[in-house]
Structure 1
């Protein structure tokens, strides 16, 4: 009888250790050279403008997240992560909105990456004095959403139901004016060609939806393609800007060095904070980065946690990041550049 009770107890403990728990685990993801290839595909391709050979690496950094919508982590994995300094355990609701599906998460991340790339190119062109045009675009199309196969990420909206608007809210009003259940007439510009479409909708929580996200975008005087597979989110914006600037200007911006970094990029060039910076620094160091450009607003998370082999520079704007990269290229050193200790010291 005692043996049976022991077996039952062991099975209960084993079962409990395998049950999903409401946490996510952030761990270092790959650091990827935007000037190079990813999955055997050139990441940054610019056509329709003069580009220049470059050298060195400008590395976007990533975080892998275990336990997002549609996935699970177990108590055993959470406890192990607590004792691993390269990982971070967070309540699931801190990272993902409640009830958000895997498809919705993918759409949000894809749209964030798409708009980040657009904004990054715009900031680089602003620095170079190259003009472009503001538009409203399809930033992402949900997998299995009503518009999948009809609309594509990157489509520029020309009109909805024959009407035009100046911004996202204006186009949303035109979309909402189409009677429920009817396909939405849209004209979009794709690869320079205008296409007229009838976009289907599906009822979601009592509301007809296409399953897309609209965003502010730009049409540039050259074609800029940035391909990073299924990696999503906005945190590579600053590195994308530096990479575009590098390819459009003579010489190697990095001076041949391996420079990693992270940070969102705003229309005015401001570099914004991101999540998972400790994991990103570890991933950069493990990939061989020598230097790391960190958003100044993340510096409180950097101090005391940067790998010893990584020189970290604090940046607040694209101009800061550009100056830091040029200084490293010229001197092979971060001497004289702001550190996170400088930023966080009263």
Structure 2
């Protein structure tokens, strides 16, 4: 009997030790949770997030908060089990966040670059909304290209076949919309004078081109800087754009509320989907948000992961977001997910 008791005790001890070892073993998953939120109208680490000099800015009684996802990159079974049973976290295969063949450092570098691009696009979209149009300027003309002798460096391209060129990407899109060898009517201005020219596109590297290198400019009489560290990815674009507009317009876009949101943005103000919407909603609720701006393509997922008393506002463009904020300020109806 005594020997049997010792055997049972040793067996229990070995089982416990084995369980501890298994639970502490790393597994190929990551845990996603709510990350920090940042008020784009305020300061972070003692510095204004959006800094404008050379022009008077307005102040807001509310907040426009970007939201993030926290990633636990090294996960053990114990943490994964806790995440699986958590309403606020998600456990996903590691390769979804850190693709095979890329190190964690490489992924973080790419996220940092995406974050910078999102800032640039936010500035472009916001300034266009504020009345500062983009100029697509000819930088160089290829000596053997179809535009040689027609366009010159410094020309501002304004249209292709009557379609306005609003940003640099739009010019490329319009040229590629028709096969190489098509005669295109290019509108441009030179020294302030408007003109048009017929230029036949030519195939180069498998795509139709007109043989110019372009630069995108957006003249405005003030300086604008976004200063925020330790955040990566492109999903803050929408909230940066709204923050810029709020600071440069006299009206308070927030109406004194805490508005959170997420979404990529391109130069023309189109809002794109992001990852981790469920975790961002939790972060927004914890930050006291009273409404959340959701990219239209994320609406279905957001609706499956609602937070109490946090309305989900559907937006597909920057104009949608501005219209929704006006509705929230005035008691009107904003489109819901």
What TM-score, normalized to structure 1? 0.69
1:66 and 2:72 correspond: yes
CA distance in 2 between partners of 1:12 and 1:119 (Å): 53
Report if aligned partners of 1:118, 1:218 keep a CA contact under 8 Å in 2: no
**Residue of structure 1 aligned with 2:29, choices 12, 16, 23:** 23
Q: Structure 1 residue 76: deviation in Å?
A: 0.7
**Residue of structure 1 aligned with 2:87, choices 69, 85, 88:** 85
Deviations 1:74-132 (A, max 9, x none): 10110111111111111111122113223212211110110000000100111112145
CA distance in 1 between partners of 2:63 and 2:323 (Å): 16
Gaps of 5+ in 1: 136-165, 168-215, 341-346
Match of 2:225 in 1: 225
CA distance in 2 between partners of 1:36 and 1:229 (Å): 14
Alpha carbons of structure 1 residues 13 and 55: separation in structure 2 relative to 1, 3 Å: same
Match of 2:124 in 1: 122
Q: Structure 1 residue 304: deviation in Å?
A: 3.5
CA distance in 2 between partners of 1:73 and 1:298 (Å): 27
Query: Which structure has the greater CA radius of gyration?
Result: 2
Match of 2:278 in 1: 278
The 5 A counterparts of 1:153-168 are: none
Match of 2:49 in 1: 43
Report if aligned partners of 2:133, 2:218 keep a CA contact under 8 Å in 1: no
1:95 and 2:97 correspond: yes
Report if aligned partners of 2:124, 2:218 keep a CA contact under 8 Å in 1: no
CA distance in 2 between partners of 1:270 and 1:292 (Å): 17
Report if aligned partners of 2:40, 2:49 keep a CA contact under 8 Å in 1: yes
CA distance in 1 between partners of 2:336 and 2:278 (Å): 15
CA distance in 1 between partners of 2:130 and 2:271 (Å): 18
Report if aligned partners of 1:24, 1:65 keep a CA contact under 8 Å in 2: yes
CA distance in 1 between partners of 2:265 and 2:94 (Å): 26
Q: Secondary structure of the equivalent of 1:225? A: strand
Q: Structure 1 residue 133: deviation in Å?
A: 5.8
CA distance in 2 between partners of 1:8 and 1:85 (Å): 33
CA distance in 2 between partners of 1:257 and 1:231 (Å): 24
Q: Secondary structure of the equivalent of 1:54? A: coil
Q: Structure 1 residue 54: deviation in Å?
A: 2.6
Q: Structure 1 residue 134: deviation in Å?
A: 6.8
Alpha carbons of structure 1 residues 125 and 300: separation in structure 2 relative to 1, 3 Å: same
How big is the alpha-carbon RMSD for the aligned residues of Structure 1 and Structure 2?
2.2
Deviations 1:235-259 (A, max 9, x none): 0101111110111111211111111
Match of 1:318 in 2: 318
Report if aligned partners of 1:39, 1:229 keep a CA contact under 8 Å in 2: no
Match of 2:335 in 1: 338
Gaps of 5+ in 2: 1-5, 138-167, 170-214
Deviations 1:148-199 (A, max 9, x none): xxxxxxxxxxxxxxxxxx99xxxxxxxxxxxxxxxxxxxxxxxxxxxxxxxx
CA distance in 1 between partners of 2:43 and 2:55 (Å): 20
Match of 2:243 in 1: 243
CA distance in 1 between partners of 2:126 and 2:245 (Å): 5
CA distance in 2 between partners of 1:324 and 1:256 (Å): 15
Deviations 1:188-225 (A, max 9, x none): xxxxxxxxxxxxxxxxxxxxxxxxxxxx9866533222
CA distance in 2 between partners of 1:35 and 1:243 (Å): 6
Q: Secondary structure of the equivalent of 2:107? A: helix
